[in-house]
């Protein structure tokens, strides 16, 4: 068996979804696990019956500022507040999740050159 639950589209590891690309709803309408795509987490729509996908999302949408977050000194590179595509070809979101337009703001790090494996950017 491949370990993939075809009905839910997620890893069948103790009823948890794959850590990086799916989110496990805490409580469901049935006893079966529910996995949602990670893009549905914190999208201002209750995709889990209990709303667990909208918990711990914070109230910052980066539309007006960096919301008091700061770059941690002595790291190799920083996060950037941006709209639209990033400077790297074919990267970045096509729309922001709060405005659902290309005019919405988001934070990102440039992981392409000149960054190297092991470089750190910390935004807290």
Three-state secondary structure call for residue 105: strand
Residue 35 pairs in a beta bridge with 24
> What pLDDT digit, counting tens, does each position of 41-54 carry?
877 788 888 888 87
Residue the block writes with tokens 């309408």: 29
Kindly state the DSSP code that residue 16 receives in the 8-state scheme: B
pTM over 0.75: no
What are residue 39's phi and psi, to 5 degrees?
A: -65, -15
What's the rounded Cα separation, in Å, for the pair 71 and 28? 38
What are the pLDDT digits (tens) for 49-99? Answer: 888 887 777 778 888 888 877 877 777 788 888 888 888 887 878 788 788
Q: pLDDT band at residue 8, thresholds of 50, 70 and 90?
A: very low
As a whole number of angstroms, the distance between CA 4 and CA 60 comes to 34
């Amino acid at each position: 068996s491949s370990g993939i639950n075809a009905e839910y589209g997620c890893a069948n590891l103790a009823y948890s979804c794959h850590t990086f690309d799916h989110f496990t709803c805490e409580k469901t309408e049935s006893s079966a696990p529910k996995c949602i795509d990670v893009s549905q987490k914190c999208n201002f729509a209750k995709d889990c019956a209990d709303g667990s996908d909208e918990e711990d999302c914070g109230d910052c949408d980066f539309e007006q500022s960096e919301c008091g977050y700061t770059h941690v000194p002595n790291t190799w590179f920083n996060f950037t507040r941006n709209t639209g595509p990033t400077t790297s070809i074919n990267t970045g979101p096509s729309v922001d999740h709060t405005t659902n337009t290309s005019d919405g703001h988001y934070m990102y790090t440039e992981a392409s050159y000149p960054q190297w494996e092991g470089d750190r950017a910390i935004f807290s």
